[in-house]
Amino acid sequence: MNLLIVDDQKTIVKGLQDGIDWKAAGIDEVYTACSAREAKLVLMNFDVEILLTDIEMPEENGMELLEWTKTRYPEIVAIFLTSHADFEYARQALKLGSFDYILQPARYEDVQHVVERAVAEARKNVHIKRLEEATQIISKQRDVALELMLTKSEAENYAEGEEIFKRLQEMFVTRYEHVVFYPCWIQIVRFEKIRHKWNAGLLTLVFRNVLEELLEDVAVKACIAQVNLENYLMYVAMDAHKITQERWQEVWEEFTAFFNARMDFRIAVYPDYPEIETYRPERDEALKKRILTNCEKKPGIFYETEEDLQVDENEERIRLAKDYVKTNINRSVTRSEVAEYLHLNEEYFSRLFKKYTGYTFKDYEMMERIEIAKCMLEKSRFSVSIIASKVGYDNFSHFSKVFKKYTDQTPQEYRKNFQK
Rounded Cα gap, residues 387 and 377, in angstroms:
8
Which of 304, 333, 357 is the last residue before a domain boundary? 304
Q: Which CATH number is 343's domain given?
A: 1.10.10.60
Are residues 380 and 277 part of one domain?
no
Q: How far is CA 135 from the centre of its chain?
A: 10
Rounded Cα gap, residues 163 and 138, in angstroms:
18
Report the side by side order of strands in the sheet with 231-239: 221-228, 231-239, 179-189, 266-271, 300-301
In sequence order, the 6+-apart residues with CB closer than 8 A to the CB of 177 are: 239, 240
Rounded Cα gap, residues 265 and 146, in angstroms:
25
Closest CA to 411 of 377, 371, 381: 377
pLDDT for the residue 84: 66
Q: What is the identity of the amino acid at 123? A: R
Q: What is the tens place of the pLDDT at every residue in 117-168?
A: 999 999 888 877 776 666 677 788 999 999 999 898 888 788 888 889 999 9
Are residues 180 and 294 part of one domain?
yes
Are residues 227 and 206 part of one domain?
yes
pLDDT for the residue 288: 81
Are residues 321 and 220 part of one domain?
no
DSSP state of 276: B
Instruction: Tell me, yes or no, whether 150 lies in a domain.
Output: no
26: left (phi over 0), alpha (psi -120 to 50) or beta: left
Q: What residues in the chain have per-residue pLDDT under 70?
A: 84-91, 93-95, 131-135, 305-312, 420
Are residues 384 and 281 part of one domain?
no
Which of 67, 93, 128 is the last residue before a domain boundary? 128
Instruction: Tell me, yes or no, whether 149 lies in a domain.
Output: no
Q: Which CATH number is 210's domain given?
A: 3.30.70.270
Q: What are phi and psi of 104, to 5 degrees?
A: -90, 150
Domain count, the chain: 3
53, 66 Cβ separation under 8 angstroms: yes
Are residues 243 and 189 part of one domain?
yes
Which of 286, 304, 322 is the last residue before a domain boundary? 304
Instruction: Tell me, yes or no, whether 384 lies in a domain.
Output: yes
Helices (H), 186-276: 200-214, 245-262
Q: What is the identity of the amino acid at 162? A: E
Rounded Cα gap, residues 5 and 17, in angstroms:
8
pLDDT for the residue 35: 93
Instruction: Tell me, yes or no, whether 258 lies in a domain.
Output: yes
Are residues 282 and 192 part of one domain?
yes
pLDDT for the residue 37: 93
Q: Which CATH number is 88's domain given?
A: 3.40.50.2300
Are residues 211 and 288 part of one domain?
yes
Instruction: Tell me, yes or no, whether 349 lies in a domain.
Output: yes
Are residues 113 and 214 part of one domain?
no
Are residues 330 and 214 part of one domain?
no
Instruction: Tell me, yes or no, whether 180 lies in a domain.
Output: yes
Rounded Cα gap, residues 38 and 96, in angstroms:
21
Instruction: Tell me, yes or no, whether 178 lies in a domain.
Output: yes
Structural domain boundaries enclosing 86: 2-128
Instruction: Tell me, yes or no, whether 152 lies in a domain.
Output: no
Are residues 208 and 100 part of one domain?
no
**Residue 301 to residues 271, 272, 291, Cα–Cα distance (Å):** 8, 11, 11
Closest CA to 61 of 93, 29, 87, 30: 93
Closest CA to 185 of 250, 269, 247: 269
Biggest CA-to-CA distance, the chain: 102
Are residues 375 and 294 part of one domain?
no
